[in-house]
Amino acid sequence: MKIALAIAPHDAQPSAFVVFRDRLEVSIEKASRMGYDAIELALAKASDADGAAIRRILDDNGMDISAVSTGRVFAEEKAWLTNPDEAESRRAVDILKGLVELAASIGAGLVNVGRARGFVHEGETREAARARFVDRIRECADHGARHGVTIVIEPVNRYEINFINSVVPDGTDVIGGVAHPNVKLMPDVFHMNIEDASIAASLEKAGELVGYVHLADSNRWAPGQGHTDFDAILASLRKIGYDRPDTFVGVEILPYPSPDEAAQQAIAYLRPLIPRAG
């Protein structure tokens, strides 16, 4: 397992949920120096980034990229897949397809879909929202398959969105409905601490559906700063065979007490639990 740090370019809005929001050459060099293996990059749309230039910065620093994350598609572009307005839902698909292509150009194998899945809108049934979501995510996944990119669906807690909140049963149910080889689940243990009956049992139930994992403590500070049992989480990930050289865990935490301290605390806590491969 490689450890990635969530970052966004300097011009991302302050709402971007990342640890470093700065020029990419600055953040990537700093993350590398701190001992991270990779970054996870939060983007709002493909035209905001130059894939080849990002790849060069990664290579210059011996760094990998776990995923392109899409919370900013929701927060900044105001685009999401379940939107009952056909043109709006299609706009979300087009943005996500663009980010799939961009991810491929950087060498990232994953694009996450968290809040960009959207809501169950007022006046609509859950079934209608789910059917639209399944249809749209399959289209994104077909595009992913053409570009060697897997879409990972991230269950997000009820205070942020009203659709796909738990890994079990919400995430496992919907992924069963999507039934596409290029779609996997992305548990975020912060959300799981709110929504899942047992983080360890849900990870084990999700099993080989797990395609990426977000790590944060119960208070969303760095692992080690709250009451989440990371030994149990890592034991579950090992049990389901997720601890392979080609998998990533992403550190997505509040930048407190400061971005640098948060990033340092997280890697200092996680590295002994997840030794560097080789």
Q: Is 40 in the site for Mn ion (CB under 5 A)?
A: no
Site for Mn ion in 223-252 (CB under 5 A): 252
195 binds, among ligand LER, Mn ion, none (CB under 5 to 8 A by kind): none
Q: Is 72 in the site for Mn ion (CB under 5 A)?
A: no
Site pattern 208..227 for Mn ion (x: CB under 5 A): ------x-------------
Q: Which residues are catalytic?
A: 154, 252
Query: How far is Cα 3 from Cα 253, in angstroms, rounded to an integer?
Result: 13
**Nearest distance, CB of residue 278 and ligand LER, angstroms:** 29
Shorter beta-carbon distance to ligand LER: residue 17 or 242:
17
Q: Which of 128, 165 has the CB closer to ligand LER?
A: 165
Q: Does 196 bind Mn ion (CB under 5 A)?
A: no
When asked if residue 195 is in the footprint of Mn ion (CB under 5 A), the reply is no
CA gap 12, 43 in Å, rounded: 8
CB of 152 to Mn ion, least distance (A): 10
Chosen from Mn ion, ligand LER, none, partner binding at 118 (C-beta under 5 to 8 Å by type): none
Binding residues vs ligand LER (CB under 6 A): 17, 69, 71, 114-115, 154, 156, 160, 188, 214, 252
What is the closest distance, in whole angstroms, from the C-beta atom of residue 6 to ligand LER in the complex? 8
The binding site for Mn ion (CB under 5 A) comprises 188, 214, 252
